[in-house]
Amino acid sequence: MLPRDALGLGLRIPYYDYVFEHWPDVDYFEIISENFLGPAVPPRQKLARIRERYPVVLHGVGLNLLSHEAIDERYLDDLCRLADAMDAPFFSDHLCWSGAHGMNHHDLLPTPFRPELVEYVAERIDYVQRRVGRPFAIENLSSYVTFQTSTMSEWEFYSAVVRESGSWYMLDINNIYVSSQNHGFDPLEYLRAIDFARVQQVHIAGHERQADGLIIDTHDHPVADAVWQLYRQTWAMSGGFPTLLEWDDRIPPMPVVLAELDKARRVRDGQTYE
């Protein structure tokens, strides 16, 4: 387990040089699992150096939990190997589908929220968690559509899946905010449905508001003020949780990213972060 006040960063290629020179004060790193599943040696060598100094958790985008297709066993084999090599305290992936009909779409895609899907996906999550043998945390999506065929709210669906599967929350505060704005719900109502004792980690990230008001989850900006505010409220509602900052595009120099991460410490201490 990571300490409940741990602050981590999503490890990205542009950080390597800075990390190897400065070994910054970060409690842990999170890697995108798929970047290290293949046989390529250079990424693994770099990751091994990081692991010597920091805990590493795994964050996947490819388990395809809500797909009509069977779970990819070869992928799971590779994931088990990686989780063991990192001795990861937990691993995570998304409550979504990412491929269908033999294709991999490389995106995190929504479904309607329905009770029969809770049962379907909970069974698959339980299987994956047992297979990997480590706590499996499930991340909520940001989304740009909702479906008339949904019979539950997103938070009811998400919480039911975590409960039924015996898995954990990988709660993305930015995603809750983005979807609340795009679909017109109260993010606090979402948060009140969360069992914070089962939150393994919280993600924060930046987003972009389009001219027509739609918000896109771009991970290419600093965290928005409204998301920091929601983060502060989430922290107050919980008993603490490890917090991880994701910055995936237009990545600034690492000191800028570290300064952004440090805002989380100040926000939860009730200080201003400006």
Partner 1 sequence: MSSDQTTTWLSDFQKEFTQVLRSPLDLSSGMMRADTEKYPRKLSQQIMTEIPGAANRGLSVYNRQYWFRLFGALQSEFPLVSRLLGYWRFNGLAMRFLSEHPPQDVELHRIGRGFCAWLAQEWLARELPAKSAIPKIALIQAAHIDEEWSRIFLAPEQPRWHPSPDDAAQLLNLKFTPTATLAIIEQQWPLLALRSQLSNYPGEGAIPLPSSLAQLEHWALLRTDEGIGELLLAPRQARLYHLMSNHTLGEALATLEQECSDVPPEQLQREIASWTQQSVELGFWAKANI
48 binds partner 1 (CB under 8 A): no
How far apart are the C-alpha atoms of 272 and 141, rounded to whole Å?
Answer: 28
Q: What are phi and psi of 110, to 5 degrees?
A: -85, 165
CA 1 from chain center: how many Å?
16
Q: Segment 89-148, which members bind partner 1 (CB under 8 A)?
A: 97, 99-107, 109, 111-112, 116-117, 119-120, 144-148
By rule CB under 8 A, what count of residues binds partner 1? 43
Query: CB neighbours of 169 closer than 8 A, spacing ≥ 6?
Result: 137, 138, 140, 158, 162, 194, 195, 198, 199, 200
Query: Considering beta carbons, is residue 6 or 78 the nearer one to partner 1?
Result: 78
Query: Considering beta carbons, is residue 104 or 271 the nearer one to partner 1?
Result: 104
How far apart are the C-alpha atoms of 37 and 96, rounded to whole Å?
Answer: 20
Query: Considering beta carbons, is residue 123 or 189 the nearer one to partner 1?
Result: 123
3-state secondary structure of 59: strand
Query: Considering beta carbons, is residue 38 or 133 the nearer one to partner 1?
Result: 38
Whole-number minimum distance, CB 75 to partner 1, in Å?
6
Query: Considering beta carbons, is residue 231 or 247 the nearer one to partner 1?
Result: 247
Q: State the distance between the two ends of the chain, measured CA to CA, in whole angstroms.
A: 31
Q: Segment 14-33, which members bind partner 1 (CB under 8 A)?
A: none
What string of DSSP letters covers 120-140? HHHHHHHHHHHHHTS-EEEEP
58 binds partner 1 (CB under 8 A): no
Residue 160 near residue 152 (C-beta atoms within 8 A):
yes
Q: Segment 157-196, which members bind partner 1 (CB under 8 A)?
A: 182-183
Binding site for partner 1 (CB under 8 A): 34, 37-42, 45, 62, 66-68, 72, 75, 97, 99-107, 109, 111-112, 116-117, 119-120, 144-150, 182-183, 212, 214, 216
